[in-house]
Structure 1
Amino acid sequence: MYEIKDSKPFDTDEEDFDTVMASDISFTGNIRFSKPFMIKGKMNGTIEASSDLLIDTNAEVNADISTERVLVRGKVVGNIKGKKLVYVASTGSVIGDISSAQVVLEPGSVFSGKCSMSGM
């Protein structure tokens, strides 16, 4: 077996996030933010940020995403551009292209698309 270093890419407790989109919310549109944001519900549109984004376990996101760091525990359909990190947990799935300086796909995660890593 092998060990994944830094398997906790950033704080994941709900209280560590300035804004949390609750699980009973369904949103269509564009989201822009500059402080850590957590999605627990459903979202369609685009996401642009200069901070961290966590897509929680039961969240469903159909959007192109551009942010600093992204942790995917739920489902994403769309392209993800993470300036520093895109991390797909074992419960996460991404259908779309990923580009980032660092990409982590945990065993058990689902990914279908192209992946490019660069110093961005």
Structure 2
Amino acid sequence: MAKNTLPEPPQSANLIQSGTFITGDIESNGNIRIDGTLKGTVTAGGKVILGSTGTVEGDIICINADIEGKVNGTIRVKELLSFKATALVNGEIMTDKLAIEPGARFTGTCRMDTNTPDTIPAQHYAEAEQQ
């Protein structure tokens, strides 16, 4: 007898659209995409995607990150941090793995360490692993 299985739904992301301005901290157990402006800290138990129109004035703390926009602050990524060609980053970064496309601009310090402590709060990481 054939086994019918439904495909898994794609993992959706919280979205802050272009033209949206937020002042304050954001916490998500999953993924988040920022195309607007955030003044504060974003903490995610998944991936943070900062689109080319996105700006973060504050810290980014997550499992993985793709940065296409502007960041002025500290970025702490547990696994892979990717700077796309349009990225403009000013601050400190801490990650296990770093990928930088030609054209990306980074001013600051970088620490690459597989044992980066306190990258994200334990409850976010545990919840992300369960998903």
TM-score by length of 1: 0.84
- Aligned residue pairs: how many? 106
Higher RCO structure (Cα 8 Å, ≥6 apart)? 2
**Separation in structure 2 between the aligned mates of residue 48 and residue 61 of structure 1, nearest angstrom:** 12
Pick the structure with more helix per residue.
2
Cα distance per residue 1:40-82 (max 9 Å; x no partner): 0000011112110000011111011111011100000101000
| 1:64 partnered with 2:59 | yes
**Separation in structure 2 between the aligned mates of residue 83 and residue 47 of structure 1, nearest angstrom:** 14
Cα distance per residue 1:3-32 (max 9 Å; x no partner): xxxxxxxxxxxx853211011210000000
Closer, same or farther in 2 for the Cα pair 1:91/1:17, shift >3 Å? farther
Aligned identity (percent) is 28
Deviation beyond 3 Å, 4+ runs, structure 1: none
AA in 1 matched with 2:96 = A
Which ranges of structure 1 fall in alignment gaps of 5 or more residues? 1-14
1:24 maps to what in 2? Answer: 19
| Contact 2:32 2:44 survives alignment (8 Å) | no
1:46 maps to what in 2? Answer: 41
2:88 maps to what in 1? Answer: 93
| Contact 1:59 1:74 survives alignment (8 Å) | yes
**Separation in structure 2 between the aligned mates of residue 105 and residue 86 of structure 1, nearest angstrom:** 8
**Separation in structure 2 between the aligned mates of residue 44 and residue 17 of structure 1, nearest angstrom:** 23
**Separation in structure 1 between the aligned mates of residue 78 and residue 40 of structure 2, nearest angstrom:** 20
Which ranges of structure 2 fall in alignment gaps of 5 or more residues? 1-9, 116-131
AA in 1 matched with 2:43 = E
User: Given the alignment, which residue of 57, 72, 83 partners 1:77?
Assistant: 72
